Amino acid sequence: MKLGVNIDHIATLRQARKGVEPDPVHAAVYCEMAGADGITVHLRGDRRHIQIRDVEVLKKAVSTRLNIEMAATSEMVEIAAGVQPWQVTLVPERPNEVTTEGGLDVVINAAHLAQTVSRLSSHNIRVSLFVDPSLDNVRSAHKVGAQAVEINTNAYATARTEPDRVQALRAVDDAAKMAHKLGLGVLAGHALNYRNVGPIADMKLIEELNIGHALIARAVFVGLERAVAEMRALIR
């Protein structure tokens, strides 16, 4: 299973002073040196952490795979077309949310998403949709032309009781099986950490995990390379 490291929080720290350090580009290099298989950044409409300059320089600096999370807007499609990342992950975005709050409702937004996927695909960009683990979402992702889905693991990660956790885990597994059956790439992520990643990492159909907050939080104490290497060891 591959590990994609979300380095948004490096940029969050830089933006606290609106300066130049720490630089997410440096972080990407350290992550790759420690064995990350990919680098993920979320370019938000409000530019609260990652900036356009970051995605432009990351595109040149990243030697693994650059995955840009973004909302399905015309502005973002244009930026992606210019940067040409390996993959775009479309996510819902609410202006004042602390982090992405859930997956896309692919069923309700099918027409708009189909148009966005088609525009990105015409620029040869692979498109993944961030979805909650429901079979309808996965089927719709396939219908609108996405090449992959990233299954939201938040319900699993934040479940308070064992039955809820087991149910949420099963939902992720079912969604992964459906996505695989439809020929979609299968990724997962959100709220995964060193303690809860194990059962998700055991799901053989999931190709890649995107992990940010827990990993960068640990890096504050043990360093980025060690934090990445430890997570990588856990998911392999």
Active site (catalytic) residues = 42, 69, 190
Asked if 81 is part of the footprint of ligand PXP (rule: CB under 6 A), the reply reads no
In the bound state with ligand PXP, the residue whose beta carbon lies nearer, of 70 and 79, is 70
Contact in structure between 136 and 108 (CB atoms under 8 Å): no
Asked if 210 is part of the footprint of ligand PXP (rule: CB under 6 A), the reply reads yes
Report CA dihedral (86, 97, 2, 72) to the nearest 10 degrees: -30
Give the residue at shortest CB distance from ligand PXP: 212
Considering only 192, 203, 228, 231, the residue that binds ligand PXP (CB under 6 A) is 192
Asked if 189 is part of the footprint of ligand PXP (rule: CB under 6 A), the reply reads yes
- Write out the binding residues for ligand PXP, residues 154-183 only, by CB under 6 A: none
The contact pattern for ligand PXP, residues 32-61, with x = CB under 6 A and - = no contact, is ----------x-------------------
Asked if 134 is part of the footprint of ligand PXP (rule: CB under 6 A), the reply reads no
Beta-sheet strands, E only, within the chain: 2-6, 38-42, 66-70, 87-90, 126-131, 148-152, 185-189, 208-211
Asked if 133 is part of the footprint of ligand PXP (rule: CB under 6 A), the reply reads no
| Cα(12)–Cα(2) distance, integer angstroms | 25
Contact in structure between 14 and 21 (CB atoms under 8 Å): yes
CB under 8 Å to 109, separation ≥6 — which residues? 72
Size of the site for ligand PXP (CB under 6 A): 19
| Cα(26)–Cα(56) distance, integer angstroms | 14
CB under 8 Å to 33, separation ≥6 — which residues? 225
- By DSSP bridging, strand 2-6 and strand 208-211 are parallel
In the bound state with ligand PXP, the residue whose beta carbon lies nearer, of 77 and 211, is 211
Asked if 212 is part of the footprint of ligand PXP (rule: CB under 6 A), the reply reads yes
In the bound state with ligand PXP, the residue whose beta carbon lies nearer, of 38 and 83, is 38
Residues that bind ligand PXP (CB under 6 A): 6, 8, 42, 69, 89, 91, 99-100, 130, 150, 189-192, 210-214
